[in-house]
Amino acid sequence: MTVALAAAVRSLPRGPGLAYEPKFDGHRLVVLRTLEGVSLQARSGRIVTDAFPDLAAAARQLPAGTVLDGEVVVWHAGRTDFALVQRRAAAASAARAAVLAHALPASYAAFDVLELAGLDLRARPYERRRALLVDLLLPLGPPLQPVPMTTDPELAETWYETLPASGIEGLVVKRMDQAYPAGRRDWRKLRHTNVRDAAVVGYTGTARRPLALVLVLPVGDETPLVSSPLTAALRVEVAAAVAIRAGGAAGGQAGARGATVTAIGVGEVPFRPLDPPLTAEVRHTSTRHPPPEVLRLRTDM
């Protein structure tokens, strides 16, 4: 199932016929309820049902022929915690997944229904799909629930300013008359201005011990920047991602040598390119000082 995507904007879109939803900090997940059972699909297309047995069990309450699009999140201390979602997704066995489901129960924030009782709804307007989604999920209750939605831009702006304390990243904006834009960036997303996605075009250090990332931000002149030093946890995560790209090659051979980039206050720094790039979420307020801080990799499950 190919999912719809969103393009980043720098201010809140306003106008008639717009809907606003909070953007949850989790993993994209498509729920497919068939006659045979339930499949959970990541944005990449990979089936991750075994990692979320609690959500799979809850989805069996849905009528056969239902397909939902949404975000899987894990709540902790009153806010969503992306690291805990990653921990759930990385369960290596059914036994481990069951333990994590008990300790870190997942919630599913559904924002669209693509199929209902075998009827393809993707050509229907969002307004109609939203009504069907609410009617479907409200009687069931958690852990399957529709995301909040408003057509009031003032309320949406209040959400944008106040909900980050709960782990909400920003807003997604859709047209009420819009069909489901599978594979296209026809939705709009407004995220807090100092946090954004960046292309990871390389890394310094070795494949086994990366020290910093070489980034291209989605604003400015696309000049590569060197991030601040990676945390220990991020070094492990980046090394694993590089190993996957290299087909599990050992000995730090992933990434070609020979490229350099200018680092603030350091000068020319050699780095290993990545092609195709990875994606990382970074905190960055200026193309000058300080260097971007890498918050996490944006990897599909």
Residues in the chain: 301
CA atoms within 13 Å, Cβ hemisphere of 269: 22
Q: What are phi and psi of 65, to 5 degrees?
A: 85, 25
> Which of 4, 19, 20, 23 is the catalytic position?
23
**Facing residues of 293 across strands?**
283
**Token pair for 148:** 């909040």
The residues near 162 (Cβ < 8 Å, ≥ 6 apart) are none
Angle at 280 between CA 90 and CA 292, to 5 degrees: 135
> Helices 94-103 and 82-89, interaxial angle, to 10°?
150
Read off the amino acid at residue 130: R
Question: What is the CB-side half-sphere exposure of residue 32 using CA atoms within 13 A?
Answer: 16
Catalytic annotation present for 23? yes
Q: Which two tokens stand for residue 86?
A: 């990653």
State the Cα–Cα distance between residues 104 and 106, nearest whole angstrom: 6
Do 266 and 229 meet the contact criterion of CB atoms below 8 Å apart? no
In b/e form, how buried is each residue of 220-242, taking b as 16+ CB within 10 angstroms?
Answer: eeeebbbbbebeeebbebbbebb
The answer to whether 205 touches 196, Cβ cutoff 8 Å, is no
Active site positions, annotated: 23
